[in-house]
Structure 1
């Protein structure tokens, strides 16, 4: 028996991100199993080879282009003579009715957003079963009471509400003031081999201890600016410790200027994007991730799979996979003071990092499946079967 499943991503602001890996890889697997798979993504000026791969592997991709409403429509909307539905959303509704999916998977880079809310309302209006996937949440993501009320209706109506960490789920339940009995935790796909074992490179007098910060260059979420403040202290300037910033992002130029301003070029290196993540861990000894908010960072899971400890902040799901003092070190909050304390504790234990990393590898394999996309795809198929059997 085959089904029609539609994936809808509302991620914006970046051509591609970690939030897109789960739905896209699951779509590819489901298509390989003979199911009819469609996907709707937002338009973006830069080319995305991931979309080409999706199409090549059997996923029908629809790019949503924003079409501004006409002046007359805007006037009528302001006068409340028309509902504030722009042409972009109307085209989405037509697309959904045309493909007639058995299930819609709504994936958001955050837990919810304006587009996400509209698309969910279309599913409700058309009685199309849907699930939600929320990839990140933060204490600052509170909404007004009217929006929270709409969110309660949407998430309680979903077949399942998938979160990537219990921390994000608990926070969102507070933000909408309700418990979600239909919530489940799901794992994101990772970009390293499940059995990865990169060799450990022992530091020498000429080769310092190296921490890798693997995250998009966006301090609003990833907190790289905190590293600048910490390493500007004289004690860290004097120690053989170096941090490599891997990745790209909207604040790359500003961060480079910030590092230069503090004269930390010898302590903080910009390593760019690396296609093979395992290569990072052949020359680095631990992960440093000073995030202000997260879901469950892929970089943390990948670091642990590669047998390395991590230094992270206590946000979202970090504490759900990392054990403080055993497989890594957890800063109580994303502040300079708490991050400095965590790095200090890690530094005192640096000669134990290799053993801590080995333990991290063992424990993370007890918590994440070998193939998260297949695991998620199988869950979606069970949901479709359940809806078909109960019609």
Structure 2
């Protein structure tokens, strides 16, 4: 079978959203399928892409499309959405059309990001080629225009399958579309950790709180966390906040820590690839996200035996049970997250037991081969469409 993967991610060369389809592609090559990958061009080829290419995957890297700027300009002039399709000879996806895959996986870093490969969506509809959108993230913060909602409902509704990484995202997606998706299912992202059992907590001392994720407050909500820890209740307590990650909001967060008078208790560690080293040094995951899929950082923390304080967004509550594996804030606000963090602080003598329960929950529920699961779903959907 010929399997094509089209990644919509263009902000960075690689991210957690790419790990699942890359695993799937590896299994497909192992099974004798042909694989073609369509990704953005970056100065350096990511090692995962290089490895797949060396194993036989076709790799096509595309530049930025002239159509996006042209569409925006025409839309401003005409005061309505405008679609521009490049002639086939200029299309970044001409090799996809010529290859004629049996099925196409559209990897969407965010719901609705198929729009960034709109010409592919048009070709899929015209050619009748089966396709599977893989949705890694969804935010409820944005409104959707009626015309676009109708287009999106057609795109997702006509897919062979639609894969979300959390049931919460699936339900929110249907609400945003105002349409049910009977073809939708939930898959898991890979957790690449050697299972060595739950890690012991760090030695006694100040409570070490870890925030793991991009420094992007619009999604990850670290500003809410600093507001909470800068409140009067936390001034007399012994704690340290460790931020792991990089992003455009680092300067803002440093300034915010200074404004709240907690800069001496907040450390910025940058991007750390050694996940066990994070949890060897920290007692508790704190995740005040405004939007999520199912965060890999949460699953990694659970796999290392750590409880978490999270917000009720995305798939968080599908993994964190109040008082059993962590604590849940109903909303990504300082009041709500602060209340959840208070409950966690009052139960700090139980953090080790909560972490053990979190580890057991992760061990029981995590898919041992999520890439294989996705491949079976993709090939099964393609065969069903061809029957």
Range with bigger deviation, 156-165 or 371-380: 371-380
- 1:346/1:67 CA distance change after superposition, 3 Å: closer
Select 1:349's aligned residue among 328, 347, 350.
347
Matches of 1:171 and 1:72, distance apart in 2: 31
Secondary structure at 1:366's aligned position in 2? helix
**Equivalent residue for 2:98?**
98
- 1:70/1:182 CA distance change after superposition, 3 Å: closer
State whether structure 2 residue 146 is matched by structure 1 residue 148.
no
Whether the 8 Å contact between 2:10 and 2:40 is mirrored in structure 1 is yes
TM-score (ref. length: structure 2)? 0.92
CA shift for structure 1 position 7: 0.5
CA shift for structure 1 position 56: 2.6
1:114-133 → structure 2 map (5 Å cutoff)? 114-133=115-134
State whether structure 2 residue 192 is matched by structure 1 residue 191.
yes
CA shift for structure 1 position 31: 1.6
**Equivalent residue for 1:17?**
15
Matches of 1:344 and 1:70, distance apart in 2: 47
CA shift for structure 1 position 155: 1.0
CA shift for structure 1 position 142: 2.9
State whether structure 2 residue 286 is matched by structure 1 residue 281.
no
Select 1:238's aligned residue among 214, 236, 249.
236
CA shift for structure 1 position 104: 0.0
Matches of 1:65 and 1:128, distance apart in 2: 24
CA shift for structure 1 position 236: 1.4
CA shift for structure 1 position 387: 3.2
Range with bigger deviation, 311-320 or 367-376: 367-376
TM-score (ref. length: structure 1)? 0.91
**Equivalent residue for 1:265?**
263
**Equivalent residue for 1:223?**
221
- 1:343/1:104 CA distance change after superposition, 3 Å: same
Secondary structure at 1:84's aligned position in 2? coil
Matches of 2:34 and 2:208, distance apart in 1: 46
Range with bigger deviation, 336-345 or 63-72: 63-72
- 1:238/1:46 CA distance change after superposition, 3 Å: farther
Matches of 1:88 and 1:137, distance apart in 2: 32
CA shift for structure 1 position 189: 1.0
Matches of 1:269 and 1:357, distance apart in 2: 23
Whether the 8 Å contact between 1:311 and 1:328 is mirrored in structure 2 is yes
Matches of 1:289 and 1:48, distance apart in 2: 28
**Equivalent residue for 2:383?**
385
CA shift for structure 1 position 63: 1.3
1:364-379 → structure 2 map (5 Å cutoff)? 364-379=362-377
Matches of 1:308 and 1:72, distance apart in 2: 49
Of structures 1 and 2, the one with the larger relative CO (CA 8 A, separation 6+) is 2
Cα RMSD for the two superposed structures:
2.6
Range with bigger deviation, 154-163 or 66-75: 66-75
CA shift for structure 1 position 49: 3.3
Matches of 1:319 and 1:200, distance apart in 2: 24
CA distances 1:252-285 after superposition (whole Å, capped 9, x unpaired): 2222232233332332211111112122111211
Matches of 1:179 and 1:213, distance apart in 2: 35
CA shift for structure 1 position 150: 0.8
How many residues are matched?
Answer: 383
Secondary structure at 1:272's aligned position in 2? coil
Matches of 2:68 and 2:174, distance apart in 1: 38
Matches of 2:252 and 2:277, distance apart in 1: 27
CA shift for structure 1 position 296: 0.7
CA distances 1:271-314 after superposition (whole Å, capped 9, x unpaired): 11111212211121111111000011111111111111110001
- 1:279/1:371 CA distance change after superposition, 3 Å: farther
**Equivalent residue for 1:291?**
289
Ranges in structure 1 where 5+ consecutive residues have no aligned partner:
none
Matches of 2:357 and 2:56, distance apart in 1: 40
Matches of 1:70 and 1:329, distance apart in 2: 43
